[in-house]
Structure 1
Amino acid sequence: MELEGKVAIVTGVSKGIGRATAEALLARGMAVAGWGRHAPQGLTHERFQFFECDVREEIAVAEALTNTLRELGPEIHVLVNNAGLGVAGPVDGFSSDDWRLMFDTNVHGTFYCAKAVLPQMKRQQLGHIINVASIAGTTGIENMAGYCASKFAVRGFSQSLFKEVRNDGIKVTCLYPGSTQTNFFDDIPGAQANDSMMQPQDIAGAIVYALETPFNFHIVDVEMRPLQPKK
């Protein structure tokens, strides 16, 4: 897809991969609607608008879409489902509230946002949905059962959705980043972000690459890992 002049929605835009993706899409000439609970500090651009949205609430998603269409025009070409979080802990000592929080954000939020934009993408017969999962969506990790379960769900959702909407000209790509230097590790005991990890800009670059593929094919799954991880 030629990105210049097109419209993208990026969730979880306040920092990390979401912010880096918004900046990369702006650099390609897109208009970007950033959805999140907090605005990205210092991100000002004539083609960027922030809309407060908690993706855990379907009503909030519907309101954000209405505001986006009013401000940026009637077409939505790209949705980047990036909003997500992780909480660590053993299953037998894990908070049920934290379990629900992860599924409400990582899984239900992805569903609400995709469901919201699909009618317009189908009218256009053109669109691309990017779901940011995690390497945790491909393998189990000790003390991360809830997070892994939520990202496995994103994987299943993505692979089902692409088969459902491909004949409408809509692409679906799921990314599985490994360790990325973001604030994700702030709340993970025993883990610390470091310079050997991938950078948010690396993930954003992969997203741009997937979006710019010619119309006749699409990239379904992308697994990314640091080349030389810190031992």
Structure 2
Amino acid sequence: MDLTGKIVILTGVSKGIGRATAEALLAKGAIVAGWGRTAPEGLEHERFQFIECDVRSEVSVQEAYVNTHREVGEQVHVLINNAGVGIMGPVDGFAGDDWRTMFDTNVHGTFYCCRAVLPQMKKQQLGHIINVASLAGTVGSENMAGYCATKFAVRGFSEALFKEVRHDGIKVTCLSPGSVETNFTGATPGAVPNPHKLQAQDVAAAIVHALETPAGVLISEVEMRPLQPKK
């Protein structure tokens, strides 16, 4: 897909992978509707429109979709479900509210956003949905049971969805990065990139690559790892 002039909805746009992806898409000529609870600081561009949205809320997603139509147009060529949250801890000490927050954001939010855009994409017989999962959705890890469960769910949902909509001309890609140097875990990325972690820009580049595949080609699943992880 040539991204010039294409309308992209991108969730979790305020920082990290979302912010880097917005910048990469704008550099390719796309029109980006960035959904999030807070606007990305300092990101101002004639083809960028921030839309306030909490993906945990079905109503908020519906309102954001209506607002996106009003601000950037009716068509939707791309949806990138990037918004996510990770809360770690042992199962027997895990708070129910934290468990629900992760599922509401990572799983239910992905469903709400996909459901919102699919009627228009089917009408167009064209579209590409990218769901950002994690390598934590491929293998369980101690003290990450809740997060792993949500990302396993995103991978299963993505596989089922791509089989459901491929004949409508809609692509679905599930992207599973490994360790990424972002604010996700609460730590602030250092001034010098960590060579043992992926950078947000690396993930953004992979997203752009998947989107730019020829019309008859689908990259259904991508796993990304740092080449030389910390020993």
Query: Smaller-chain TM-score range?
Result: over 0.9
Alpha carbon RMSD of aligned pairs, Å?
A: 1.0
* Aligned AA (2:201): Q
Give the drift of 1:194: 3.9
The equivalent residue for 1:78 is 78
Aligned residues: 226
- The whole-number CA distance in structure 2 between the counterparts of 1:105 and 1:184 is 14
Q: Deviations over 1:157-207 (max 9, x none)?
A: 0000000000000000000100000011227xxxxx944211000000000
* Aligned AA (1:10): L
* Aligned AA (1:133): A
- Unmatched segments (≥5 aa) in structure 1: 188-192
- The whole-number CA distance in structure 1 between the counterparts of 2:96 and 2:113 is 24
* Aligned AA (1:101): T
The equivalent residue for 1:212 is 212
The equivalent residue for 1:183 is 183
* Aligned AA (2:24): A
Percent sequence identity over aligned pairs: 73
The equivalent residue for 2:39 is 39
The equivalent residue for 2:10 is 10
1:138-153 correspondence runs (5 A): 138-153=138-153
The equivalent residue for 2:162 is 162
- The whole-number CA distance in structure 1 between the counterparts of 2:167 and 2:173 is 15
SS of the residue corresponding to residue 184 of structure 1 reads coil
The equivalent residue for 1:135 is 135
Report the TM-score when normalising by structure 2: 0.96
- Unmatched segments (≥5 aa) in structure 2: 188-192
SS of the residue corresponding to residue 186 of structure 1 reads coil
SS of the residue corresponding to residue 107 of structure 2 reads helix
- Kindly indicate whether the alpha-carbon contact (under 8 Å) linking 1:181 and 1:195 is maintained by their aligned counterparts in 2: no
- Kindly indicate whether the alpha-carbon contact (under 8 Å) linking 2:195 and 2:228 is maintained by their aligned counterparts in 1: no
The equivalent residue for 1:107 is 107
* Aligned AA (2:153): A
- The whole-number CA distance in structure 2 between the counterparts of 1:23 and 1:69 is 21
The equivalent residue for 1:190 is none
- The whole-number CA distance in structure 1 between the counterparts of 2:139 and 2:176 is 11
- The whole-number CA distance in structure 2 between the counterparts of 1:30 and 1:150 is 30
SS of the residue corresponding to residue 229 of structure 2 reads coil
- The runs of at least 4 aligned residues of structure 1 exceeding 6 Å deviation read none
1:57 aligns with 2:61: no
- The whole-number CA distance in structure 1 between the counterparts of 2:6 and 2:217 is 19
- Kindly indicate whether the alpha-carbon contact (under 8 Å) linking 1:136 and 1:147 is maintained by their aligned counterparts in 2: yes
- The whole-number CA distance in structure 2 between the counterparts of 1:65 and 1:185 is 29
- Kindly indicate whether the alpha-carbon contact (under 8 Å) linking 2:158 and 2:172 is maintained by their aligned counterparts in 1: yes
SS of the residue corresponding to residue 185 of structure 1 reads coil
